[in-house]
Amino acid sequence: MNKLEQLYEGKAKKVYSTEDPNVVIVSYKDDATAFDGLKKGTITGKGAINNQMTNFLMQQLEKAGVPTHFVEELSERETAVKKVSIVPLEVIIRNISAGSFAKRYGVEEGIVFDEPTIEFSYKNDDLHDPLINDYHAVALKLATWDEIDTIKKYAFQVNDFLKKTLAECGVTLVDFKLEFGKTADGTIVLADEISPDTCRFWDSKTGEKLDKDRFRRDLGNVEGAYQEMARRLLGK
């Protein structure tokens, strides 16, 4: 499979067309941004780690019954995935208070919820990805009720799987963001990535942050945290 034309360049990835109209190649970059693109930097080795971690998790999620866009890992940084149209919703699941939740509701980080929460943001750069509820998403025709029901079901399945898998590696899953896409035949599949860029991971014993918050908050040892997650989850 070969990269033909660059279709898109995002903050952390580039996407290329291939000979197959239903398959694109994603290439992960080391570039990092935070705070709506205001903070920019590089996390050396991040692209390779995020690519391999995403692929490892997506292949297991497929087996656990969550359809994904994954087709084939091509190299350290590149993966063939199904071509989808992205549903313009960021789907965020939280098990523990942190980040924007703690800020918005004026609570400390680290409150363990009795049940996971779900929320949506409207993926729209001009509007800075505002929070949106499911009724608004349907009103704006971003998705149908059926699609939203499917997305919620898969998102909680991903949470159950990830929480368990990470707990076995001594990592607590605090929260994470998912994106879903629609294939040519209208099937909803998990897309984008699952990585320290898109999840909050805390060491189960020490509470040490092992994710992009080290970059966002200038905590130091950013690369070390990504490498530690790769070591624990992928054994490398």
Binding site for ligand C5P (CB under 6 A): 90, 92, 98-101, 129, 175-177, 198-200, 212
Residue 159 in contact with residue 95, Cβ under 8 Å? yes
Q: How far is the CB of 54 from ligand C5P (least distance, A)?
A: 12
By beta carbon distance, the residue nearest ligand C5P is 99
120 vs 176, beta carbon nearer ligand C5P: 176
83 vs 200, beta carbon nearer ligand C5P: 200
Report in angstroms the alpha-carbon separations of 48 from 8, 132, 210, 233. 19, 32, 16, 14
What is the CA 189 to chain-centroid distance, rounded?
A: 13
14 vs 123, beta carbon nearer ligand C5P: 123
83 vs 94, beta carbon nearer ligand C5P: 94
Q: How far is the CB of 212 from ligand C5P (least distance, A)?
A: 6
Q: How far is the CB of 78 from ligand C5P (least distance, A)?
A: 21
DSSP 49-80: HHHHHHHHHHHHHHHTT--BSEEEE-SSSEEE
For residues 159 and 226, give the distance between their C-alpha atoms in angstroms, rounded to a whole number: 20
35 vs 236, beta carbon nearer ligand C5P: 35
Residue 202 in contact with residue 188, Cβ under 8 Å? no
Helix (H, G, I), strand (E, B) or coil at 206: coil
